[in-house]
Amino acid sequence: MTDASPTVVLVTGGSGLVGKGIEHVINTEPEGSRFGKQPNETWIFATSSEADLRDPEQTRKLFDKYKPTHVIHLAAMVGGLFKNMKYKLTFLRDNVLMNDNVLHTACERKTQKVISCLSTCVFPDKVEYPLDETKIHLGPPHSSNFGYAHAKRMVDVQNHAYKEEFGCNFTSAIPTNVFGPHDNFDLEGAHVIPALIHKCYLAKKNNTPFIVAGTGKPLRQFIYSYDLAKLFIWQLREYDDVEPVILSVGEDEEVSIKDVADAIVKAVDFKGEYAFDTTRADGQFRKPASNKKLLELMGGFEFTPFDQALEASVKWFLDNYNNART
């Protein structure tokens, strides 16, 4: 993507947290800048209402309509721990179908490049930390999300097979926990940050205690969706290798769940009772991922400070409560 030939970038999952982040960055960074839209580019953000990517025919129609030269494939069935535990087969099957249809169609239509999206939660349950790009297949995933994890791991296998058999330029990104505007705030299915934002908002509204499950001690790496968007745009333009890249803040930027909850309490301006339910499971204490490969390739990147990104996400939720996914 270095010359000025016409480029059509199709982003699947364009209505989701990460897709909306990319749309925001493409529309707000100065045109022609490293992360801004280039004059020769057209960006398409597709949703499931335009094409259900579990269906091969609808997938083909989407490709034939836009004729993408490049694809960022984000569409997926996504969810937090409880949803993953409850719908293992659906997570497996829906994601396998979407990934297979997108990659197969991209190969058939000779799409120049596809970046698909894995996740650090697809890594083996028992593995030496920090996680890095070489450790995806070194053992079974955690039993709570094996459906999602195996579907996502297969993308890396498919990318290698497409490259070796057909010479396709397919690769993948591995983000850590993402948060930001347009997240899924549904209390049943959400990841930890949007779920806690929603809970704290309700506690303030209903004058009830804000109770956080677990001790608050586990540490996680969180990436702001607008930062992640820039990393995807970099990967699309500047990285041409089948091996995945972890897109994450550094290991030294781990944040505890208590830090997250404190920042939410502050951003929501919650003054009521706030406590940790230590009878609830904590999950793994930490599972750090290395962003060494990313930073070496990119030559450095300035991440948005966590508190600032969280405040912006809470503000988005409060301003958009009626339209947010709740």
Q: Judged by CB under 6 A, which of 5, 33, 49, 206 binds ligand NDP?
A: 49
Binding string, 87-126, against ligand NDP, x = CB under 6 A? -----------x------------------x-x-------
Query: Residue 236: what residue type?
Result: L
**CA 161-12-227 angle, 5° bins:** 100
- Is 321 among the catalytic positions? no
The correct pick among 191, 199, 220, 237 for binding ligand NDP (CB under 6 A) is: 191
Question: Can you give the length of the chain in residues?
Answer: 326
H-state helical runs in the chain? 17-28, 56-66, 81-86, 88-108, 146-166, 192-206, 225-238, 257-268, 292-298, 306-319
Q: Say which residues have a Cβ less than 8 Å from residue 323's Cβ, sequence separation at least 6.
A: none
As measured in angstroms, the least distance from the Cβ of 74 to ligand NDP is 4
Out of 74, 103, 106, 168, the only residue in the binding site for ligand NDP (CB under 6 A) is 74
Among 19, 68, 147, 218, binds ligand NDP (CB under 6 A): 19
Minimum Å gap between C-beta 47 and ligand NDP is 4
**From the list 9, 10, 22, 53, which residue makes contact with ligand NDP (rule: CB under 6 A)?**
53
Distance CA 93, CA 204 (A): 39
From 9, 16, 154, 185, residue interacting with ligand NDP (rule: CB under 6 A): 16
> Longest C-alpha distance within the chain, in Å?
61
Task: Pick the piece of the chain touching ligand NDP (CB under 6 A) from 8-16, 31-39, 161-169, 212-220.
Answer: 8-16
Q: Does 77 bind ligand NDP (CB under 6 A)?
A: yes
The residue among 192, 178, 254, 189 whose CA lies nearest residue 20 is 178
Note whether 52 binds ligand NDP by CB under 6 A: yes
Question: Could you tell me the smallest distance in angstroms from the CB atom of residue 190 to ligand NDP?
Answer: 9
**CB under 6 A: which stretch of 22-30, 44-52, 107-115, 237-245 binds ligand NDP?**
44-52
Cβ–Cβ under 8 Å, residues 184 and 17: yes
The answer to whether 199 and 318 have CB atoms below 8 angstroms apart is no
CA angle (156 as vertex; 153, 158 as ends), nearest 5: 110
- Integer-rounded Cα Rg, in Å, for the chain is 19
CB of 228 to ligand NDP, least distance (A): 8
**Closest approach of ligand NDP to the CB of residue 278, in Å:** 25
Q: Give the C-alpha separation, 200 to 188, whole Å.
A: 15
CA gap 169, 227 in Å, rounded: 24
Applying CB under 6 A, what is the total number of residues that bind ligand NDP? 27
Using rule CB under 6 A, residue 131 touches ligand NDP = no
Out of 9, 10, 17, 196, name the contact with ligand NDP by CB under 6 A. 17
Q: Which of 148, 162, 201, 226 is catalytic?
A: 148
Question: In 3D, which of 153, 165, 178, 162 has the Cα closest to residue 244?
Answer: 153
Which residues, 161 to 190, sit near ligand NDP by CB under 6 A?
A: 175, 177-178, 184
How would you classify residue 211: left for phi > 0, otherwise alpha for psi between -120 and 50, otherwise beta? beta
Binding site for ligand NDP (CB under 6 A): 12-19, 47-49, 52-54, 74-78, 98, 117, 119, 175, 177-178, 184, 191
- Catalytic residues, by residue number, are 148
